[in-house]
Structure 1
Amino acid sequence: MRSVQNFLWFCAGGYRPLLNRSPTESNKYIGIGGTVFFTALFAGLAAGYAMFTVFENIYVTITLAILWALLIFNLDRFIVSTIRKGKSTWAEVKMAIPRLLLAILLAFVIAKPLELRIFEKEIARELDNQKLRMLKETRGGIDEGFPEIEELESKIASLKSETDAKRAFRDEKQQEYDAERFGVKTPGTSGIVGLGTNARKKEVQLDDAERDYQETQAANREKMREYEEEIARFNTIKEEEWAKQQVSVDGFDGLAARMDALGTLTQNSVPIYWANLFIVLLFVVIESAPVVVKLMAEKGPYDVLLEKHEQGIYLYADEKWHKTATESKDRLEVFDTLQPEVKDAWIAMKRKEMEGRYGTAL
């Protein structure tokens, strides 16, 4: 129990010999030290979550979390230990304002990883939505980056239309030839049954149409095959680029992305906004608690003894300086009363001593 008390005194920046002489101050500094310790502990846990999000390595996370906790502990201990209880409350407040601002800044830094942890599920859902939007935009951008595919598909469609037109013309000539043979009366046939002159003419037209269709179909089929090979090549390049972009989008879940998602959630959801604000305020209260407690505390025996101890050191230094200055003044007065030749001899002696010590002629 005694060791715990001494540790908390240390956390509060207290001087143990003076606290031992001030039993009534013990609980106050135990409370301040506990606040400093638990603030650093929470800071380490929050930093650990943030570091694990970034590095995803437990050993690196533990190391950096401990370092961050020690940093916050040292800063808080410094803030608390440098606030002195004086006669003027306003002087104490002015002295504490920069330290209070620093505490508030640290609170915002510490609170952010904890916010990310608390709203982890909501952030994950928002990240999924953002990834879907990014994938859609990426797919559209990649498609726009390959206009050759659309041009080739348009050429293939044109070739198919040309082939279809030739086939339709061939089919039309086939119907006219059949109608002429079987004596079907139409605007383009004679209505006489058999293979007469008109039927033979229709047969020649059909043969020409068939030949033209076959030649066009063969030529267009070759061109379409070449165009389809080009499309396949472009599609391969496009899919490779798409695979690269998918890897990039899938990795969009780092610390910055999560913070951006949290910002989006707080803008779109009033409950999340207020919950986020209360978490920040909670850490502001926790981080600034040591400073506020120290300001609210009455000046006690420990503060009086500490002030006496420090003033004693200042007084001792002043006395030593005054004594040294007085002795120096007395020596100068004695030196001034010496004869000129004695002064010169003394100066020459000192010069030789300096030359022998430093090896340089003065």
Structure 2
Amino acid sequence: MKQINRFFWFCSGVHVDTLKKYPIELNKYVGIGATIFFTALFAALSGGYAMYFVFSGNPGAPFFAMLFGLIWGTAIFNMDRYIVGSINKRGSINSQILQATPRILLAIMIGIVISRPLELKIFDKEIRNKLKTSYLKGQRSKIDTMNITFNKKYGMDLAKAADIKAERDSLEKDINRSRYQLNQEIFGDKTNQTSGKTGFGTYAKQKDAVLKEKEDRLKTVREDQIKMDQYIANRKDVEGVTDTKLFNDRQLDSLSNVAGFADRNWALGQLSYNQNGTRDLDTYLAQSFISYLFILFECLPVLVKLMSPKGPYDVALGKTEEANIHFAEKDMEQDITVTDAVQDHRINTNINLTKNNISKRAERKLMREDLKT
């Protein structure tokens, strides 16, 4: 427990030696340090999870996720520790709030950022279903677009194939009707289309000849239809219409598993809307409360520091800071005095040297004049 307490004191950014003089303050700063630590821990988990989706499918995804999560969590931890430790409890409430305002605004942004990846995990099942529906709808739209384009491009060939099919259907019906009338003629059934004479007579032979002509024509039409169908099928293969099919369940599962962060984020946003475009209040509130929870959790270190009352540690720390400032100012004054004395000594020395140099030059000048004389 001593080691844990010391670790949380480190997280809170306190001066441990000063804090130990006031045991009543120990638990308060353990709580503040624990809040800072767990905020950074959640930030690390969220950042790592987001990075895992960025590198999804890459063998190094777990490594990059852990590395980014560690860096992100450390950055949040260091920032929280500095800002919480820099809030001056000796000032007024307004000054403390003013110090904490930039951190609170930043905490709101960070809370939104770190809550999104965790929302993706919480609503993972619903997101997968939404993605499957979207992929299936997109594939169906793609197929419809390709069919429309194909029909426009090969409209004349498709119309010709339709005419051949209609002629084939008409011939098949006509042949069946002619075959039935031939049987009536042979068996002597008296109707408006038969003579009523039994046997394969003149009328029966005429009907049989007409039937063979129709059968020959049907054979030709079927051959033309086969050729036209083969041509259209080849065109569909070339245009990619044949190969483009709706996704099956296995393909949809595979696509939803490898979906990127952008697709999953879009699907999460669509969960709060119904099919008719109206907002689904239940899902919207659930997502909003999760975001608000993480925003509040991210703001907790600053809020805990602001809510904690001013204690003896804060007073002692303030006096220590004032004493350090006083000693630093004295040291600066002494340094300035010493610096000034050194500079004065240097100036005097330079003046003396200058005077000596001038005297020596004058003496040399006099000596040269004496020599000339």
| Change in 2 beyond 3 A, CA 1:231/1:251 | farther
Question: Which of 269, 288, 291 in structure 2 is aligned with 1:277?
Answer: 288
Listed one character per residue, the Cα deviations across residues 139-175 of structure 1 (whole Å, up to 9, x for unaligned) are 2422431344684554333212223444555666667
Contact 1:8-1:34 within 8 A present in 2 as well: yes
Q: Which residue of 1 aligns with 2:229?
A: 228
| Change in 2 beyond 3 A, CA 1:238/1:190 | closer
Structure 1 stretches lacking a partner, 5+ long: 347-362
Q: Which residue of 2 aligns with 1:266?
A: 272
Q: Which residue of 2 aligns with 1:217?
A: 218
Question: Which of 147, 163, 172 in structure 1 is aligned with 2:168?
Answer: 163
Contact 1:183-1:193 within 8 A present in 2 as well: yes
Give the stretch that moved more between structures: 77-86 or 124-133: 124-133
In 2: Cα distance, 1:46 partner to 1:286 partner: 13
In 1: Cα distance, 2:126 partner to 2:243 partner: 28
In 2: Cα distance, 1:254 partner to 1:299 partner: 49
In 2: Cα distance, 1:299 partner to 1:170 partner: 106
Question: Which of 299, 302, 306 in structure 1 is aligned with 2:310?
Answer: 299
In 2: Cα distance, 1:114 partner to 1:181 partner: 85
Listed one character per residue, the Cα deviations across residues 188-246 of structure 1 (whole Å, up to 9, x for unaligned) are 777788888xx47x8568636633641x3343333222222234332583353447995
Q: Which residue of 2 aligns with 1:105?
A: 109
Q: Secondary structure at the match of 1:266?
A: coil
Q: Which residue of 2 aligns with 1:94?
A: 98
Deviation at 1:341, TM superposition (A): 7.0
In 1: Cα distance, 2:200 partner to 2:304 partner: 119
Question: Which of 63, 76, 79 in structure 2 is aligned with 1:72?
Answer: 76
In 1: Cα distance, 2:82 partner to 2:346 partner: 50
Contact 2:48-2:69 within 8 A present in 1 as well: yes
Q: Which residue of 2 aligns with 1:207?
A: 209
Contact 1:45-1:65 within 8 A present in 2 as well: yes
Contact 2:139-2:246 within 8 A present in 1 as well: no
Contact 2:168-2:218 within 8 A present in 1 as well: yes
Contact 2:107-2:299 within 8 A present in 1 as well: yes
Letter in 2 for 1:119: F
Deviation at 1:13, TM superposition (A): 0.7
In 2: Cα distance, 1:333 partner to 1:171 partner: 132
Contact 1:18-1:306 within 8 A present in 2 as well: yes
Q: Which residue of 1 aligns with 2:330?
A: 319
Letter in 2 for 1:79: I
Q: Secondary structure at the match of 2:89?
A: coil
Structure 2 stretches lacking a partner, 5+ long: 274-278, 358-373
Give the stretch that moved more between structures: 337-346 or 230-239: 337-346
Say if 2:152 is the partner of 1:145.
Answer: no
Question: Which of 115, 121, 129 in structure 2 is aligned with 1:117?
Answer: 121
In 2: Cα distance, 1:143 partner to 1:203 partner: 52
Deviation at 1:77, TM superposition (A): 1.1
Contact 1:135-1:249 within 8 A present in 2 as well: no
In 1: Cα distance, 2:290 partner to 2:178 partner: 84
Tell me the TM-score normalised to structure 2 length: 0.73
| Change in 2 beyond 3 A, CA 1:191/1:115 | closer
Contact 1:10-1:33 within 8 A present in 2 as well: yes
